[in-house]
Structure 1
Amino acid sequence: MTKPVRVSLLWFGTGWQESGREAIRNAIASLTPSRYLGKDSDVPTLGDWWNIVRQYTDNSNTPVSDRVDVGSECFYTGPELNMTRDQVIDIGHSVFNKTLIDAFRGNLNCSEAFEVNENSIFHIVFSHTVIFLDGKEQTELMVSCSGNLQVEAFAGVNVTLRWARAPQKDASVDQCLRFLQGKSYLGPPNGDEKIDSLVGYILAKITEGVTNHDGRGWLANDGSGLTAGSFCESTIQRQPEGPPLFRDKKRKLSFNAAGLNGYRYIVQYIWDQKIQNCALKVSETCNSNAILLNQPKGYLNRGLAVNHTDGLQPYPPNQICQWSVNYPEAKFISFTINYLSLMANGDDTLQICPSNSNVAQCTILQSLKKNSNKNFRVMGSKATIKFASGDHVSFESRGWELDYSAGLCNGKEDVYDHAGIIGTPLTSFSYIEGLNCLWVLHGKPGTLVSLRFTYINISEDFDFLAIYNGVKQQIANFSGYYSGSGLPQLNLTGEVRIAFATQTEKGQGWSANFFIASPVSRNSKAFLVIIIIVSAVGVGISLAFVALALHIRRSKCISNEGLMLMRLETNREENRIGEGPSAVVYGPVLTDGKFIAVKARRDMDSLADLEREILSKSSSHPNIISLVGYARDGLQIRYLLFEFMSRGNLRMNLRERGETLHWEKRLAIALQICSAIQMLHMYLKPPIYHGNITSANILLDEVCNAKLAGFSNANYCSNEGMNPGDLSEMAEDIWSFGVVLVELLRGQNLDDRTAYKNFRSLEEINDFVGTQEHLDQRLGIPDAQNKIMGLAKLGEIAKWCIVLGCGVGRERNNPQIGDVLSGLKQVKQMFCYV
């Protein structure tokens, strides 16, 4: 039938839901290929399925019509038990005549009488409620799922009524449900197994109608009487595990073809004359010309994929296909075989080769065993994929699919430039499994190397981005997503290493701007190694050890001579500048012309070691006190050596000379300490909590730059505050920082800090933080309105932090340290606004 086809439907029985009828109507309308919009998909549509049917032509080589529509509809709702074949034929005869329709007195209703012409197909659809009389004449209607009835529409005019029946019982009993089974079957695509099985038989009968309408069309020549629409049914039924199907696990349904309006269906295969096999979609063929692929990531296949576990239909025979992957920036091309089902004991092969290589260097695949390697890597920026199939392909040979990705980093990359960008380009980076990359920023010892990250999106499973100062000292380890104020900014010294490794494919990568204040010359690297080795030997036997440690900002073990000098200095009572329950701090101690502070710990060795370990990881931050050395004497006293902060702590400065700390300086101190806390909470892996953030542990240098000190109570975070009444360790730090903000605003030292954790309402917290009248009277209220607003905002941030620690309004949006830092930056902008 080469002209537009109308399918008229005679609905038999009362067991219909309108949703079921609409699914059948939609399936018929979905056969027209031109009704689909958008690009081609791996999922076959009913339009693709119909394009296979259109391979069949008449004597003039005109193909089957490309348009199918639903025509007239009639509804029989009369008696439906013990029906005979003659009753069905009588009702079928009546639908062509309006007078005969009316004679059924309401048991037969039609939108209009069926019209007989050469482009019409007439189809009876039996509901599951229709029961046939047990007898020889009704045998076909009872045991078959579909068939044909010859009916006289008018005198001398006979037509074929094609029919299909809905299953009457469950899948274990009724043979008409046999497509809805197997390992790939999760559930019916439209929620009703009776309707979803019926659709397949109806569409197969329509296919038979257009290819063999008058009995002179396509018919199998083996005497079986099978048609284009029924030939593949027996092939599919022989599959021991059921037909291959797409699986939608979320909706718990399976299908092998998509229709219009979001409908999904399970349909029978059609015999594809071009590939001499059963298919759901016209197979894609290729020639020997290589197809160039220049994207960093993609996939290839032959056959149609089903959830990357199996094929949906066979691939074409007699094919020689080639693809060339070429991505100039790639260090290697990675391949993952998702599935592979090639002709057993045949000549069909899939080859993955380095470009322009001989066969000996290729990976040749013919089968993929359970424990065989599914991942392959070709070093370089080019690779070739070749596929060949023989003269015959069995239905069980479903094809293959592979993913490819260009690896844009691999191994070590040395960086000697003053400034630039490192990382993985967001626009073209292919985030793939198995990356193992290292960037080495070569700065001269003791000179600044800064990193400013612009984005980080790394899978939290097993992937990481680690920052090292030197070869072994790990400063930070990032995984997850960072944005805005959460993006890290690190100021380091000397040689900096950035390691990036992946075991997943779930991220987008990272990028950072770097600045090397004094890069090592590329040509002097070998000479520099010699100098470092000689210097290290000299330092080990002189009192200059501590001075060198100060210079390169790394913690070093103090020599015996340096330790002896330190003990002499710490025995002088006038050098004692601080004391706590576990340590005494002395300073300034003069060592080799440099002033340092010495912390003598009297508690357990393990606690001193933990403090030293934490400071070694964190003191690269410009606002965390620098650990420059350590030692232990014969009395088992542990000494930790720090840079000396000449202006003392914030507590003393607020009390004794607060008038010199104007509002801008106090805001700068708040920003610097908040940035230091961010380093501990967000950028170190595992994260670290300080445990004692007070104004006494914030030290100032001669120009009032602030550094966080007092790490005796610091430890790795373990309590995430999962219990409703339990506060996390990070939240404790944020609460403490909120109290420091109040001290900065009021210019007063708040000694009894435990008293400020007993607030039970927001009103009490508001009274504690205060209003304009509570601001430090030595500075007074600023004249500029923007600064007044900025101080009010600073007070709100303090309340936000304190609320978190007091359990008031815990259900509110609790701040993370990155949020607090963002708020402080807004205050700074308000102060700077003109």
Structure 2
Amino acid sequence: METRMPRVLPPATTIAAPLALAFLLLSLLSGPSSAWRPWPSLRHRPNATTVDLTLGNSKKFEGSSEFVKMKYHMGPVLTANITVHIIWYGNWARQQKKIIREFLGSISATGARHPSIAEWWKVVQLYTDQTGANISRTVLLGQEKNDRFYSHGKSLTRLSMQSVIKSAVTASTKPLPIEPRNGLYLVLTSEDVYAQDLCNNVCGYHYFTFPSIVGYTLPYAWVGNSAKLCPGVCAYPFAVPDYMPGLKPLKAPNGDVGVDGMVSVIGHELAEMASNPLANAWYAGQDPSFPVEIADLCEGIYGTGGGGSYTGQMMEDGGGATYNMNGVRRKFLVQWVWNHVVSYCSGPNALDQSV
């Protein structure tokens, strides 16, 4: 339900795969989860093998466990074409919007180089409803609404976030369309806006609107730009926490620490909204008010070897920027999601998996 970013452990910390998963699950159930830090890039390890980059020579996969019980609770999932409507709350630069639009536009795109965002979405598509219909492969960028004048102020609560959505769908000019069945509403707050719990290890969340506030039940997510407030919390590994001054941040693939950090959180929330839009479909655990969803299980895992204190194997482009997936025109760093068919975290850049 919420994207909780990790605290970074000391570089010497290592955790074996089975212990790492147990630690991850306990963290998810008890509070902010622990951290991951990157392995060295293959650029700097020219003789590295696939075995070198897994945990020993075991082929057990990232986050794999027979103890994770991802269950379907009979609620709807998004099997029809999905349309994402964006509310740009606050002050956004044109280039920042372009980065996020191109990420969203890459989810259903064909022709992007492997490993691609579209291949990442194929893991999300594995989830079905009670009829056996899969989540849609089609994710479309819908209409957009700009709220440049901070109509609800620069400090938003979770309830006032719903009022932001109400203002967008009831605006007198160019209101966002109301699509309860296949529309997702994405509230993106600029770097000068504080949203409730931002920087308190929460970088985004999803839920659904209350008819008493908005007039409709609409699945929505909020993700904030943490560039000014807490980049070390929500834009890791492109920024590092203040308590880890010796750890060097990685270079963001699109040159914007805050927005490049947002992209992974947006992916996290979209995957969970598609598979659990009304909090009654796919999740682990017994409490629907605090579900462990398909992206929660893989927080901080971006590649092979991820889990415990490691992000996993990532890549560098010619300019030294770190990424793990290709969009149509750009490169992105996006966390993996849980594959319930084989019970491990999956991503298209895996060195030891077939997605």
Compute the TM-score of the two structures, normalised by the length of structure 2: 0.66
Cα deviation for residue 230 of structure 1 reads: 2.3
Give 1:10's aligned amino acid. Answer: I
After superposition, the Cα gap between the structure-2 partners of 1:122 and 1:245, relative to the gap in structure 1 and judged at 3 Å, is same
Structure 1 position 95 matched with structure 2 position 165: no
* One-letter identity of the residue aligned with 1:37: G
Q: Does 1:265 align with 2:332?
A: yes
1:66-118 CA distance string (max 9 Å, x none): 1101111111122443444444332221212133xx6xxxxxxxx44232230
Who is 1:81 aligned against? 154
* Post-superposition CA distance 1:664-689 (Å, at most 9, x none): xxxxxxxxxxxxxxxxxxxxxxxxxx
Distance 1:188 1:21, change over 3 A: same
Does structure 2 retain, via aligned residues, the 8 Å contact 1:189–1:255? yes
| Structure-1 residue corresponding to 2:324 | 256
Which of 184, 190, 210 is matched with 2:254 structurally?
A: 190
Which secondary structure does the structure 1 equivalent of 2:104 belong to?
A: helix
Q: Report the structure number with the largest CA radius of gyration.
A: 1
SS of 1:164's partner is strand
Aligned residue number for residue 276 of structure 1: 343
Within 5 Å, which residues of 2 pair with 1:534-553? none
1:2 aligns with 2:70: no
Structure-to-structure mapping, 1:568-579, within 5 angstroms:
none
Give the conservation status (yes or no) of the 8 Å contact 1:189–1:264.
yes
Decide which of 268, 280, 285 is 1:221's aligned counterpart. Answer: 285
Counterpart-to-counterpart distance in 1, 2:137 and 2:185: 18
Q: C-alpha distance in 1, partners of 2:351/2:275?
A: 22
Displacement of 1:265 after TM fit? 0.4
Once the two structures are superposed, residues 204-226 of structure 1 have per-residue CA deviations (whole angstroms, 9 ceiling, x without a partner) of: 11111111112222101365612
For 1:231, the equivalent position in structure 2 comes to 297
Deviations 1:219-274, CA, capped at 9 Å, x for gaps? 013656121122200556854354421111x31211000001x2110001011233
Distance 2:199 2:205 in 1: 8
Match of 2:128 in 1: 57
Pick closer, same or farther for the CA change 1:219–1:83 going to 2, 3 Å. Answer: closer
Contact 1:4–1:67 under 8 Å retained in 2: yes
Structure 1 residue 166, shift from structure 2 partner: 1.2
Change (3 A) 1:49 1:149: closer
User: More helix per residue: 1 or 2?
Assistant: 1
**Other structure's SS at 1:61 match:** coil
Against the structure 1 CA distance between its residues 88 and 57, is the aligned structure 2 distance closer, same or farther, given a 3 Å change threshold?
Answer: closer
- The answer on whether the counterparts of 2:84 and 2:141 sit within 8 Å (CA) in structure 1 is yes
- Residue 268 of structure 1 aligns to a residue whose secondary structure is coil
Matched residue, 2:190: 127
CA 1:179 to 1:29, structure 2 compared with 1: closer, same or farther past 3 Å?
Answer: same
Residues in 2 aligned to 1:174 and 1:64: alpha-carbon distance in whole angstroms: 33
Partners of 2:216 and 2:166 lie apart in 1 by 11
Query: In structure 1, what residue type is equivalent to 2:284?
Result: A
The equivalent residue for 1:711 is none
* 1:569-608 Cα deviation digits (max 9, x unpaired): xxxxxxxxxxxxxxxxxxxxxxxxxxxxxxxxxxxxxxxx
Q: Which amino acid aligns with 1:116?
A: E
1:37 alignment partner in structure 2: 111
Q: Return closer, same or farther for 1:259/1:210 CA change in 2, 3 Å cut-off.
A: same
- C-alpha distance in 2, partners of 1:242/1:51? 21
Look up the match of 2:226.
167
Q: 1:158 to 1:255 in 2, by over 3 A?
A: same
Determine the structure 2 residue equivalent to 1:315.
353
Deviations 1:12-34 (A, max 9, x none): 111x21111111111111111xx
Q: 1:225 to 1:145 in 2, by over 3 A?
A: same
Letter in 2 for 1:13: G
2:33 match: none
Q: Which has the higher strand share?
A: 1
Among candidates 138, 144, 147, match of residue 202 of structure 2: 144
Matched to 1:73, the amino acid is E
Q: Secondary structure at the match of 1:74?
A: strand
Q: 1:92 to 1:141 in 2, by over 3 A?
A: farther
Q: Against the structure 1 CA distance between its residues 153 and 228, is the aligned structure 2 distance closer, same or farther, given a 3 Å change threshold?
A: same
In 2, Cα distance between the equivalents of 1:90 and 1:170? 23
Query: Contact 2:325–2:333 at 8 Å: present in 1 too?
Result: yes
Q: Does 1:244 align with 2:313?
A: yes
Change in Cα spacing, 1:13 to 1:313, as seen in structure 2 (3 Å) is: farther
**Partner Cα distance (2:249, 2:127) in 1:** 31
CA contact (8 A) 2:87 2:145 kept: yes
Q: Which amino acid aligns with 2:323?
A: F
2-structure distance, mates of 1:235, 1:247: 16
Structure of higher RCO (CA pairs closer than 8 Å, 6+ residues apart) = 2
In 1, Cα distance between equivalents of 2:320 and 2:341: 35
Alpha-carbon distance in 1 for matches of 2:164, 2:126: 35
Matched, 1:25 2:101: yes
Distance 1:61 1:77 in 2: 43
**Counterparts of residues 639-658 of structure 1 (less than 5 Å):** none
Q: 2:322 & 2:300 partners in 1: Cα distance?
A: 20
| Structure 2 Cα separation of the partners of residues 149 and 218 of structure 1 | 14
Kept in 1, the 8 Å contact 2:100–2:263? The answer is yes
Indicate conservation of the 8 Å contact 2:199/2:234, yes or no.
no
CA RMSD, Structure 1 to Structure 2 (Å): 3.0
Matches within 5 A, 1:81-480: 81-99=154-172, 111-132=174-195, 138-139=196-197, 143-152=201-210, 157-169=216-228, 174-180=232-238, 186-221=250-285, 225-233=291-299, 238-248=307-317, 250-260=318-328, 262-281=329-348, 304=349, 312-315=350-353
- Name the CA distance, whole Å, in 1 between partners of 2:209 and 2:352: 40
What whole-Å deviation, never above 9, does each CA across 1:780-814 have from its counterpart, x for those lacking one?
Answer: xxxxxxxxxxxxxxxxxxxxxxxxxxxxxxxxxxx
Q: Conserved in 2, the CA contact under 8 Å of 1:123 and 1:162? A: yes
8 Å contact 2:85–2:142 — kept in the other structure? yes
- The 5 A counterparts of 1:689-708 are none
C-alpha displacement of 1:152: 3.7
Structure 2 unaligned blocks of 5 or more: 1-77, 241-246
Where 1:174 maps in the other structure, the secondary structure is: helix
What is the SS of the residue equivalent to 1:20?
helix
Q: Partner of 2:119 in structure 1?
A: 48
Cα distance in structure 2, aligned partners of 1:88 and 1:6: 20
How far has the Cα of 1:170 moved from its partner? 7.7
Q: Quick one: distance in 1 between partners of 2:268 and 2:162? A: 21
**Which residue number corresponds to residue 19 of structure 2?**
none
Q: In structure 1, how many angstroms separate the alpha carbons of the residues matched to 2:155 and 2:122? A: 40
Residue 178 of structure 1 aligns with an amino acid whose one-letter code is Y
TM-score by length of structure 1 reads 0.30
Residue by residue over 1:749-804, the C-alpha shift from the partner in whole angstroms, topping out at 9 and shown as x without a partner, is xxxxxxxxxxxxxxxxxxxxxxxxxxxxxxxxxxxxxxxxxxxxxxxxxxxxxxxx
Structure 1: gaps of 5 or more residues: 103-110, 133-137, 282-303, 305-311, 318-834
Indicate how the Cα distance of structure 1 residues 170 and 147 shifts in structure 2: closer, same or farther if over 3 A, else same.
closer
Change (3 A) 1:85 1:272: closer
Cα distance in 2, alignment partners of residues 94 and 2 from structure 1: 28
SS in structure 2 at match of 1:225: coil
